[in-house]
């Protein structure tokens, strides 16, 4: 098991991508802290991933935009005599509104949830990773961190910032053997009309949509020692979507 003895935090663990990553990490020997505001949901997921309650999957309700809430998570981890080796920021929130109708509250909520939380958690993990002499930070962004989709400006800005946060971590913390990379996900959790769905299918040369399990496989690679020479990079899991932007 390639993550045996490692401790990981996975945010957004109540959603398909976060859950799939947490599951993959548990299967590969890591102790995984499942982070989400949805306490009931992550409790059920922790039970599913660790049915014998062996301490492999721990549900930790947390508001990642709150330093106090994050402190509580790390106090729990320290009490277990653990240090975070792997951080996965997989939280995803998209509010769909035209830019001119976007309220400051909407903007702030998007930025804080999708970007500020990742910054706060990364910063909190730093000392432990530095002392351990190694660390992995994996951010899950979106294709539209680079390609703009109308109606979700705050989300685009936040995910674009997440890519640059990964690069900044890679540059500033690389000397401490901390690697940071971004998985660029093809899917956004938004309602989609039949017309939009058809257009998406035309633009996507693959016969299936991106699966959470595919993203989890990439996350596992980035979390392992096999990726020690990879940092500051964006790895697309888009089934060729970006290579086929012109409709026939």
Q: How far is CA 82 from CA 6, 24, 85, 149, in A?
A: 9, 20, 9, 41
228, 3, 210, 234 alpha-carbon torsion, rounded to 10°: -20
Helix (H) or strand (E) holding 115: none
Name the catalytic one among 25, 126, 155, 173.
Answer: 155
Rounded to the nearest angstrom, the gap between the alpha carbon of residue 113 and the centroid of all alpha carbons in its chain is 11
Distance CA 59, CA 40 (A): 9
Using an 8 Å Cβ cutoff, are 61 and 42 in contact? yes
Distance CA 140, CA 87 (A): 11
Distance CA 131, CA 27 (A): 26
Is-catalytic flag, 33? Answer: no
- Residues designated catalytic: 155
């Amino acid at each position: 098991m390639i993550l045996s003895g490692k401790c990981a935090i996975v945010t957004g663990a109540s959603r398909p991508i976060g859950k799939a990553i947490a599951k993959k990490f548990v299967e590969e020997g890591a102790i995984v802290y499942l982070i989400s505001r949805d306490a009931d949901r992550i409790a059920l997921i922790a039970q599913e991933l660790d049915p014998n309650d062996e301490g492999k999957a721990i549900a930790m309700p947390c508001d990642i935009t709150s330093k106090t809430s994050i402190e509580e998570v790390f106090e729990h981890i320290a009490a277990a005599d653990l240090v975070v080796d792997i951080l996965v920021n997989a939280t995803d929130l998209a509010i769909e509104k035209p830019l001119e109708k976007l309220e400051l509250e909407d903007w702030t909520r998007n930025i804080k949830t999708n970007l500020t939380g990742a910054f706060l958690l990364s910063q909190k993990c730093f000392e432990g990773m530095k002392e351990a002499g190694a660390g992995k930070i994996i951010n899950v962004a979106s294709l539209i961190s680079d390609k703009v989709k109308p109606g979700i400006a705050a989300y685009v800005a936040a995910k674009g910032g997440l890519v640059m946060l990964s690069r900044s971590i890679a540059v500033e913390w690389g000397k401490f053997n901390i690697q940071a990379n971004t998985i660029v996900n093809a899917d956004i959790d938004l309602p989609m009309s039949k017309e939009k769905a058809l257009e998406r299918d035309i633009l996507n040369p693959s016969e299936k949509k991106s699966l959470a399990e595919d993203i989890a496989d990439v996350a596992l690679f980035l979390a392992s020692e096999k990726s020690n020479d990879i940092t500051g990079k964006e790895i697309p899991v888009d089934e060729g979507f970006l290579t086929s932007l012109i409709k026939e």
